[in-house]
Chain A
Amino acid sequence: MSLLSIENLSLDIAGTPILKDVDLTIEPGEVLGLVGESGSGKSMTALTVMQLLPEAARARGQVTFNGIDILKAPEEAMCRLRGDDLGMVFQEPMTALNPVKTIGEQVAEGIRWHTGASRANAEDRARAMLDRVGLPEAKFPLSRFPHQLSGGQRQRVVIAIACALNPKLLIADEPTTALDVVLQAQILELLRELVVENRMGLLLISHDLAVVADMADRVTILRHGEVMESGPTASVLTEQRHPYTRRLAEASTHVPARPHTPASPNTEPTRLLEVSNIVKDYPGARKGLFSRAKPFRAVDDVSFSLDTGHAVALVGRSGCGKSTLARMILALDTPTAGEIRLAGENLAGKSQRELRHARRDMQVVFQDPYGSFNPRHRVERLVAEPLHLLDEKPSAQNRRERVAEALHLVGLSPADMEKFPHEFSGGQRQRISIARAIITRPKLIVADEPVSALDVSIRAQVLDLFADLNHRLGLTYLFITHDLTVARAITDEVMVMHEGQIMERGPTHAVLDAPRTEAARALVNAAPDLNQSLKKRRHLEAGK
């Protein structure tokens, strides 16, 4: 008998169908990868097993866990299962822990609840579990609060909570999506160890084929609430019998075609951006009434330059200072020391008025296409926003023409300017933010994780768009990303940042294929790679 078997599961929420006849099984000690794009119903499948669905949800079919009919089980029975035999880890570690309770309380709570252990006894077991997930007592006493931990550390606490009572099945819903690649590799390794140690079943939900190929024995591919294909990971992902599987795999490794002729090949490359010896200190935390900790150096003596028409990736782990550096280049933050020159003009110490000119030449695309628009403005107004940087205010007619042209360039229709942001999908919204960025015809675009919130197929299209605009408008890009696939797909050069410094710079392929520094090697080794993982897995499956 399988540990978990889902048969003909259909689910609708307030009348909207979410899942249609989903089947899947997990055996003890097995890792099942559940793959799909956003809205495919992956999370809802998980929440059905946990019976933590929204109130308006109606599920039909059969869900059997360890011999228990989940859909018919009363709430008290589910409470006994959850946190004991059935654990769950969520995507967003920053908000998954209660901010007003210590990590010790939060881990011990479930243990006390299920076993009736005394407080002291439960705390001992919580301590042992936190040690197990890599949070040793010396640095992480039970009395720590969540806000004193980083994202990766918090995710370890969440895993400790879920695994405190050695569950038979762990459901992990995008457990590493919010983490950088190095942390991702560590967390995945931890999950793998827990599976082996306890013969735990793992339902790993992910949109990332490379992660699934690395982790899962079998894979189920979900689309619009229906199972497209399922089977052993290596054969499903290499043979790609189902057209949707093929599309997903192609999109995940998509490299946009880029004619390698930045702007005009005959002229000498011109310097667009020159960053010299830039430093950013943040004041240290207050220790007493009059004393402060040492200032924190977020960016430490960084110098580099960008040539017109080039696309450069700035990669590094979270907290390495890459976003701070980007903010200073965009003149949103003032450097503590150093100089930034855009087309020869020094930006440091300029007033907002004096910066208008420079702002016209540099625009930004942010990560979250949902949060970066005022939901009450029409697209025309949103896209036209940067036009106030022009010296002369364009006429209404001229403004509409410019917006129409920008929308056309990013592959949207001029008619879209009458719509509101909520009428667009995530990928279309990211196109709108690109339209907004190019409307002043800037020379430099700084893109901060511009595709990491997008599904793989949409991501491929947006990367194509970036490549196309680079070629057509001669744009210079600075891509800030922790995703090496993006860097590989679209940039000419890579800069690796670590603890505020740029450790390594070189042509993209050279750096990513043969990293020279420790920091770059750590990134490259941790980054999941679909083809390599598949090779390894085929080897494994052949060996069985």
Chain B
Amino acid sequence: MTAYLAKRLLIGLATLVVASMVVFAVLEVVPGDPALIMLGMNAEPEALATLREQMGLNQPLLMRYLDWASGMIVGDFGRSYTYSSPVIELIGERAAVSLPLALLSLVLSTVIALPVGIFAASRRGRPADTISMGVAQVGVAIPNFWFALLLIYLFAVWLRLVPAGGFPGWNAGLWPGVKALILPAIALALPQAAILARVTRSAMLEVLGEDYIRTARAKGMPRRVVLWHHALRNALIPVLTILGLQFAFLLAGTIIIENVFYLPGLGRLVFQAITQRDLIVVEGVVMLLVASVVLVNILVDIGYAIVDPRLRTRQ
């Protein structure tokens, strides 16, 4: 188990290093001079040169990479050109919205999807299965921004249970913050839940056809008990894989939902930074996302090992 963990951690670290190189190199070749953008198209050439000097844009590529990378290790992601504040602070503010939102929708989607998937699998081919999978199909097909508008109309405009958009900040208290995130979380969770339910169902069906399920039934355990005690844990591996992928998406792929609800999240930050050529912010956010994906993958790997003892001994 220690060897298994150590290996995952090493792979994760190596991924981070390679990713940082790629991120840096890609943004290097993207057209657009940050200094020019800051000063505007009519800038004086001297002013431009001075600013480029200040920003260190004239240094050799390798130096700039090392500067940037070593800064990140100690938490210095540089300063944003457009916001004129440290990148780490910008990311921190935005992550305070995006991270809880991602976690909330992940929990929602799991809580909806697992029971539906298991239930559908246990009723394979019967009306309950057909109906729940039909609903899941619709869930995959509905665009989440449309569904979000529907939610706003229903719960914010009509029932007035939650705000229609915006984020009051966590300083306003836990409940107002959570309240502002509930609708976006539901809008994000539904399509994810639909996918996850389908994956859960097919994983369960595969496991239910295994010999050891028959062995468990031959022990005298009723179908329902066998389903929860023997089948579920074996079906969790593909479910964990999908959950890991979904978390990465939920952290940064939520720009549309953030816009619909006027949430100051990471998605909007990175979008604005890209349009303004604020490369240092883009780099920072992308690296944060890479790090979180790596971390989630390690967690998923640990999850695999907890679920399946065979993976603990394999290298």
User: Which residues on A are within 8 Å of B, measured CB to CB?
Assistant: 50, 52, 75-76, 79-84, 87-88, 90, 92, 95-101, 109-110, 113-114, 145, 147, 158, 161-162, 285-289
Contact = CB atoms under 8 A, between A and B. Distances in A.
A181 B307 CA distance: 35
A80, A286, A287 — most chain B CB neighbours (10 Å): A286
B230 to A, nearest CB: 5
A86 to B, nearest CB: 8
A98 B212 contact: yes
Contact of A286 (B211, B225, B315): B315
What band does the interface of chain B fall in when counting residues whose beta carbon is under 8 Å from A? Answer: 20 to 34
A81 B220 contact: yes
Contacts of A75: 222
A162 B233 CA distance: 23
B216, B217, B218: most-surrounded residue (chain A CB, <10 A)? B218
Given A101-B230, A162-B218, 9 more contacts: A52-B217, A79-B221, A83-B219, A90-B215, A92-B211, A95-B212, A99-B310, A114-B220, A289-B2
A232 B95 CA distance: 79
Q: Name the 6 nearest CB pairs between A and B, nearest first.
A: A83-B220, A83-B219, A110-B219, A82-B220, A95-B211, A286-B315
Most buried by A among B210, B216, B221: B216
A153 B271 CA distance: 60
B64 interface: no
A109 B226 CA distance: 11
A110 B225 CA distance: 12
The interface residues of chain B, by DSSP majority, are classed as helix
B309 A99 contact: yes
B313 interface: yes
A79 B215 CA distance: 13
Interface in B191-234: 210-212, 214-222, 225, 229-230, 233-234
B41 interface: no
B18 to A, nearest CB: 21
A126 to B, nearest CB: 12
A407 to B, nearest CB: 35
Contacts of B210: 95
Contact of A285 (B219, B220, B229, B313): B313
19 contacts: A52-B217, A83-B218, A90-B214, A90-B218, A95-B212, A96-B214, A97-B215, A98-B234, A100-B308, A109-B216, A109-B221, A110-B221, A113-B219, A113-B221, A285-B313, A286-B315, A287-B3, A289-B3, A289-B7
A98 B3 contact: no
Contacts of A162: 218
Contacts of A97: 212, 215
A82 B212 contact: no
Listed residue (B3, B215, B217, B234) with the most chain A CB atoms within 10 angstroms of its CB: B215
Contacts of A79: 220-222
Given A98-B215, A289-B3, A289-B6, A113 B220 contact: yes
A482 B125 CA distance: 43
A100 B220 contact: no
B207 to A, nearest CB: 10
A95 B310 CA distance: 14
A52 B218 contact: yes
B201 to A, nearest CB: 17
A109 B218 CA distance: 12
Interface string B231-245: 001100000000000
A242 to B, nearest CB: 32
Nearest to A78: B220
B35 to A, nearest CB: 47
A79 B146 CA distance: 49
B3 A158 contact: no
A245 B230 CA distance: 42
A186 B218 CA distance: 23
B239 to A, nearest CB: 14
Given A100-B233, A286-B315, A87 B218 contact: yes
A110 B211 contact: no
Contacts of A145: 309-310
Nearest to B307: A100
Instruction: Specify which of B210, B217, B233 lies most central, judged by the most chain A CB atoms within 10 Å of its CB.
Output: B217
A114 B56 CA distance: 76
Contacts of A99: 212, 234, 308-310
Contacts of B2: 288-289
A97 B230 CA distance: 10
B8 to A, nearest CB: 12
A288 B218 contact: no
A171 B138 CA distance: 47
A270 B201 CA distance: 61
Interface in B260-315: 307-310, 313, 315
A154 to B, nearest CB: 11
A378 B276 CA distance: 60
A365 B188 CA distance: 54
Nearest to B313: A285
A158 to B, nearest CB: 7
Contacts of A87: 218
A84 B110 CA distance: 37
Contacts of A95: 210-212
Given A98-B212, A98-B230, A285-B313, A82 B3 contact: no
A110 B229 CA distance: 12
A83 B215 CA distance: 9
A52 B216 contact: no
Contact of B234 (A88, A100, A286): A100
A288 B3 contact: yes
B216 A98 contact: yes
Given A145-B309, A289-B2, A84 B216 contact: no
A113 B226 CA distance: 12
Contacts of A289: 2-3, 6-7
Contacts of B315: 285-286
Given A82-B220, A109-B221, A100 B215 contact: no
Contacts of B217: 52, 82
A92 to B, nearest CB: 6
A96 B6 contact: no
A80 B307 CA distance: 30
Interface centre among B6, B212, B219, B229 (most CB of A within 10 A): B219
A288 B313 CA distance: 10
B219 A82 contact: yes
B211 A96 contact: yes
Contacts of B309: 99-100, 145, 147
Contact of A83 (B3, B221, B229): B221
Contacts of B218: 50, 52, 82-83, 87-88, 90, 161-162
Contact of A90 (B211, B234, B308): B211
Contacts of A84: 220
B3 A161 contact: no
B224 to A, nearest CB: 10
Nearest to B229: A109
Contacts of A161: 215, 218-219
Contacts of B211: 90, 92, 95-96
A493 B225 CA distance: 54
A334 to B, nearest CB: 22
With most chain A CB atoms within 10 A of its CB, the pick from B210, B220, B315 is B220
A117 to B, nearest CB: 14
Nearest to A47: B214
Nearest to B4: A286
B212 A96 contact: yes
A80 B233 contact: no
